[in-house]
Amino acid sequence: MLTELWPRRELILSLVRRDLKTRYKSSVLGFLWSFCKPLLLMLVLYVVFAKFVPIRFDPPMRTPFALFLLSGILAWGYLAGSINEAMFSIINNTSLVKKTYIPHEVFPVVTILSNLFHFLLALIVYFFLLLCFGVLPSWHIVFLPVVIAVQTFFILGLALLFSALNVFYRDIASIMEIIITAWFYFSPILYPLSEPLRQIVVRGGLPGWLFHVYMLNPMAVILAAYRRTILLPAFGDVEMRTARLAIYLGIAVINSAILFLIGRAVFRRYSGRFADEV
């Protein structure tokens, strides 16, 4: 796939610039919307879960809950935005699909790169916000590009799969909207992925292996890895021990690779019929 896309990198960058210009056209705040929308969602969730239905952390959180919450929302926004737009990337480029020979993988890749650009801009603003709260990232921040790369690889597999399926089954978009909403609450965005969470599972009478099943969700590990790189120490010590987090992150990479192979296989199988369907 890379061998097909790399020679067309100029085209891909041109389509990314087109997407960005279209998105920011006639917009007063421009790229700041990349941060403002997650910030507004954070404020709503903060009011609900910090004031009306407060979440108690054990051990207590050293970082303000708002910063903890916003870090997860930004990463989740990158995932959700990429998938939602990638599902329509083939349909929205009908003229190019029908009239020119371009590897169709270009279109979901462009949506991912566009959302990655927004995510990186939002992270810059987030780091300024951290400094305003007096939170200084530790040396673990050097691993931030690795975490971003793992998430991007995971998103790519999903984007290839659902962009192809949505061409033939338009209900996919509606189904994914529900799944993504449920996925948000099943991922550790409102709560930490910590050792105490594992103990709660055990003490609640549930089998301990359910925690490992939960950790098969790549976003659970990725969110914890983001917080390790930019928010440590958020808790009394760490959210999860380094060795355990590294193991789960390795499993997430393997799961992402499997998903990518499945997504690419499905995409290539049906890409020859895109022009007739859109």
In the 3-class helix/strand/coil scheme, how is 78-105 assigned residue by residue? HHHHHHHHHCCCCHHHHHHHHHCCCCCC
Give the integer Cα–Cα distance in Å for 58 and 126: 25
Is residue 115 over pLDDT 80?
Answer: yes
The rounded distance, in Å, linking the Cα atoms of 116 and 105 is 17
Check whether 234 has a pLDDT greater than 60.
no
pTM comes to: 0.88
Helix or strand or coil: residue 139? helix
Mean pLDDT across the stretch 113-125? Answer: 89
- Mean pLDDT along residues 118-122: 88
Q: How confident is the model at residue 56 (pLDDT cuts 50, 70, 90)?
A: low
**Quick one: how far is CA 53 from the chain centroid?**
26
Is the model's pLDDT at 238 over the cut of 80?
Answer: no
Averaged pLDDT for residues 81-101: 84
| pLDDT band with cut points at 50, 70 and 90 for residue 196 | very low
CB 278, CB 94: distance < 8 Å: yes
Which pair of structure tokens corresponds to residue 78? 């990158």
- Taking the C-alpha atoms of residue 108 and residue 158, their distance in angstroms, rounded to an integer, is 10
Residue 273 pLDDT level (bands cut at 50, 70, 90): confident
User: What pLDDT does 20 receive?
Assistant: 75
Most confident of 24-38, 96-110, 141-155, 239-253: 141-155
pLDDT level of residue 152 (50, 70, 90 thresholds): very high
Assess whether pLDDT exceeds 50 at residue 236. no
pLDDT of residue 39: 79
Residue type, 253: V
Per-residue tokens: 141: 């921040």
One-letter identity of residue 82: S
Between residues 204 and 266, the one the model is more confident about: 266
Q: How far apart are CA 229 and CA 143, in angstroms?
A: 6
The b/e string for 127-156 (b: 16+ C-beta within 10 A; e otherwise) is eebbeeeebeeeebeeebeebbebbbbbbb
- Mean predicted confidence (pLDDT) in 188-204: 65
Q: Counting Cβ atoms within 10 Å, is residue 34 exposed (0-12), middle (13-18) or buried (19+)?
A: buried
Percent of the chain with pLDDT over 90: 27
| Residue 56 DSSP symbol | P
Q: In the predicted model, is pLDDT for residue 194 greater than 70?
A: no
Please write the tens of the pLDDT for every residue from 199-219: 555 555 556 667 778 888 899
* Rounded average pLDDT over 188-202: 66
Cβ 161 vs Cβ 267: under 8 Å: yes
- The per-residue pLDDT for 10 is 79
Higher pLDDT, 98 or 145: 145
- The Cα–Cα gap between 54 and 84 comes to 31
Long-range CB pairs of 174-180 (<8 Å, 24+ gap) are: 176/83, 176/84, 176/87, 177/84, 180/80, 180/83, 180/84
Identify the pLDDT of residue 106. Answer: 87
Low-confidence winner among 42-46, 78-82, 147-151 (lowest mean pLDDT): 42-46
Using CB atoms within 10 A of its CB, is residue 204 exposed (0-12), middle (13-18) or buried (19+)? exposed
C-alpha to C-alpha distance for 85 and 133, rounded to whole angstroms: 34
Are 207 and 135 a contacting pair, CB within 8 Å?
no
What is the DSSP code (8-state) at residue 54? P
Round to whole Å and give the CA distance between 162 and 144: 27
CA distance 269 to 161: 11
Q: Name the amino acid, one letter, at 249.
A: L
Q: Mean pLDDT of all residues in the chain? A: 81
